[in-house]
A and B are shown apart, each in its own frame.
Chain A
Amino acid sequence: MALKSIRQAINEALFQEMRRDPRVVVIGEDVAGGAATAGERDCAGGVFGTTKGLIAEFGEGRVIDTPITESAIMGAAAGAAVAGLRPVAELMFCDFLGVCFDQIFNQAAKFRYMFGGKAKTPLVIRTTIGAGRGSAAQHSQSLYHIFTSIPGLKCVVPSNAYDAKGLLISAIRDDDPVVFCEHKLMYDLQTEVPDEPYRIPFGEASVVREGDDVTIVALSRMVHYSLEAALALAREGIECEIIDPRTTSPLDEETILESLERTGRLLVVDEATPRCGLAVDIAALAADKAFAALKAPPKRVTAPFTPVPFAPSLEKLYIPSPERIAAAVREVVGYRR
């Protein structure tokens, strides 16, 4: 096994799936780049470089650069999916969901149920999430909770390269629409990734760290911040169990509940805003199904209920930090009735 970045893992999964199945196509803005310019074709390979090289092997027929036209990209991908392709459509930043939501949630997400079970919509929407690059309010959001809240959509939020590859392959082979959320600050993060294709099933959380004192449920970049916090807390004698759900829909409730039975304490860490988000969802799960085991009220560490600010000092405050996570754990562990 070799060390690979999330960028490489995603790129490799796309290559392997496109080789395996000629119905898999990639469509989006600048997924190759350089169309009708004097310069190099494939000069972008996606603005984050994840689709680099695909056009050389699969050609313009399967690696499709589009105008800036998100509604048509998402709608065309949904239509193509019901008509026999398996499109991987790119939404450059999840914030651009605002331009094309209808085609995703009224169209793609509804087909299967609304048509009485007849439709298969094997569509993957790859998009990017996350603050921390000084990109301000319209390029920094983490909107997976919106996708998660729509029946008919599956939602994947990987935190490392191994998971990214296995989950993307599962997404491409899935017959339902899947939104795949990549954190912009994690593309260079490396883990061991097998060269051959493999699948990670949806709805199976990964226990990233074992511990008996508190259960931390964290997603994406927050998994790493939680690990940092857990290291510091271990020196104080507090052992955190960290669960990465990996997919928010379907959500692996069982792993979270089993852990809560043991620890009796829950902290959910989420880079997204606090209302109607994953943190609320998972806290409600605990209250609903693990009430008897709870020794402390479930606690949430999230971004504040504000847009993402531009100034670096404010943006840093906006994003949950390992320090805030550790402080919240201490509070949960120190709770007395």
Chain B
Amino acid sequence: MQLSRDTLLKAYRQMSTIRHFEERVQEEFAKGGIPGFVHLYAGEEASAVGTCLHLSAEDHIASTHRGHGHSIAKGCDVERMMLEIFGKKEGLCAGKGGSMHIADLGQGMLGANGIVGGAPPLAVGAALAAKTLGNGSVAVAFTGDGGSSQGTTFEALNLAVVLQLPAIFIFENNEDGESTGWRYAVGSGDIAARVRGFGLPSVKIDGDDFFAVYEAAGEAVARARRGEGPSAIEVETVRFFGHHSGDPQRYRSREDVLKLREERDCIKKFRLRVTAAGLLERAELDAIDRENAALIERAVARARAAPPPEDAALLTDVYLAY
């Protein structure tokens, strides 16, 4: 498969933005200033970017608690995401949602989600709207290996097949759901095959390989746009950080985590591949990294300095306040 230089650069820029964003959020969380808890996406960048590169703002995605990467890949403003994570007034959700509820409907981002299995039915709804309106757009649900066993997910898969909707289900299998291994929680031991049982095409791919994600997602999106119904992709991936920042991660060893960073880094692999093939220069990739570092630096500085929501905001955005 041939990707244009522009697409390759865009893919690298987005994956690098997500990585810089997440590494920095982890640091800032440790320093204090970020309320609540954050679930970081570092390690899984190829999945969000390889999928969302096929989408426009008219297409919808519905995300998970681990939603920063999906949001960035779908075009959410990085500074306003950071502001939201810090709980500030100018955040994407006015500081009322936080990390777990980042949403930008204008970009077709239906929200990160605090409820595991919350996203698939919502994406089915967006796909239903697309089909009914006949506007040619599609909807993507991101779900984890843990969320793949939730009843809402099964129901959404079936409904998408029954109604032949332009929906794509991406199952990001990062091996653990909180502290429970996916091999324990997925009884059949094969997410992609289980999904196939619902009557939709479903493939398993190597999520460390951006190109594999890009290709599989491209086919699924094209199928949906042609009106041929839903498909699913199980992306085998890893998360570099714990379930949430502060997770002591006693379900895996420090060495295991270091090894993941060494051996299963989708961004490193992308760099090696495009530079070895002479498609992109190392220097231009380094320049993108530097730009991203600066972008995130600005975002954090702005978020730290920004004002919180005004107290009156407590009682706005509801139809009635008592």
Contacts and interface: CB of A to CB of B under 8 A. Distances in A.
Interface of A: 29-30, 33-40, 43-44, 47, 65-72, 95-96, 98-99, 133-139, 274-275, 304-307, 309-315, 317-318
Given A37-B181, A306-B314, A139 B96 contact: no
Given A67-B149, A305-B321, A314-B309, A137 B114 contact: yes
A95 B100 CA distance: 14
Interface in B134-166: 146-147, 149-152
Given A38-B256, A306-B321, A311 B35 contact: yes
A137 B250 contact: no
B322 A37 contact: no
B322 A33 contact: no
B100 A39 contact: no
Contact of A306 (B89, B251, B315): B315
B321 A29 contact: no
B115 to A, nearest CB: 6
Q: Dominant SS at the A interface?
A: loop
Contacts of B248: 43
24 contacts: A30-B179, A34-B181, A37-B180, A39-B252, A40-B250, A67-B146, A67-B180, A67-B184, A68-B146, A72-B151, A99-B117, A135-B37, A135-B100, A136-B36, A136-B96, A138-B100, A275-B322, A304-B322, A306-B315, A306-B317, A307-B318, A309-B96, A311-B313, A313-B87
Contact of B98 (A35, A134, A317): A134
A300 to B, nearest CB: 10
B203 interface: no
Central interface residue in A304, A311, A315, by most chain B CB within 10 Å: A311
B96 A317 contact: no
B100 A139 contact: yes
Given A136-B114, A138-B115, A310-B98, A33 B177 contact: no
Counting chain B CB atoms within 10 Å of each CB, the highest count among A47, A95, A309, A315 belongs to: A309
Contact of A317 (B150, B176, B250, B311): B311
Given A98-B115, A313-B309, A314-B314, A137 B97 contact: yes
Interface of B: 35-37, 87-89, 93, 95-98, 100-101, 113-117, 146-147, 149-152, 176-187, 248-253, 256, 308-309, 311, 313-315, 317-318, 320-322
Nearest to A274: B322
B179 A34 contact: yes
Contact of A310 (B36, B181, B315, B317): B36
A35 B101 contact: no
Contact of B152 (A37, A43, A99, A317): A99
Given A35-B181, A37-B251, A72-B151, A314 B95 contact: yes
B101 A309 contact: no
Given A37-B251, A312-B87, A305 B179 contact: no
Given A35-B180, A35-B181, A98-B115, A304 B315 contact: yes
B96 A134 contact: no
A36 B176 CA distance: 9
B95 A310 contact: yes
A279 B248 CA distance: 40
A310 B147 CA distance: 24
B180 A310 contact: no
Contacts of A70: 150
Contacts of B180: 29-30, 33-37, 65, 67
B25 to A, nearest CB: 14
A272 B185 CA distance: 34
A305 B115 CA distance: 21
Nearest to A35: B184
B90 to A, nearest CB: 11
A38 B97 contact: no
A134 to B, nearest CB: 3
Contacts of A133: 36-37
Given A68-B185, A139-B114, A309-B96, A134 B315 contact: no
Contacts of A71: 151
A311 B309 contact: yes
A36 B183 contact: yes
Which 9 interchain pairs have the tightest Cβ spacing? A134-B36, A36-B181, A134-B35, A138-B114, A36-B184, A310-B98, A33-B179, A43-B250, A311-B87
A137 B309 CA distance: 16
A71 B181 CA distance: 20
- In the complex, which of the residues A30, A136, A317 has the most CB atoms of chain B within 10 Å of its own CB atom? A136
Contacts of B183: 36
A69 B149 contact: yes
Nearest to A136: B98
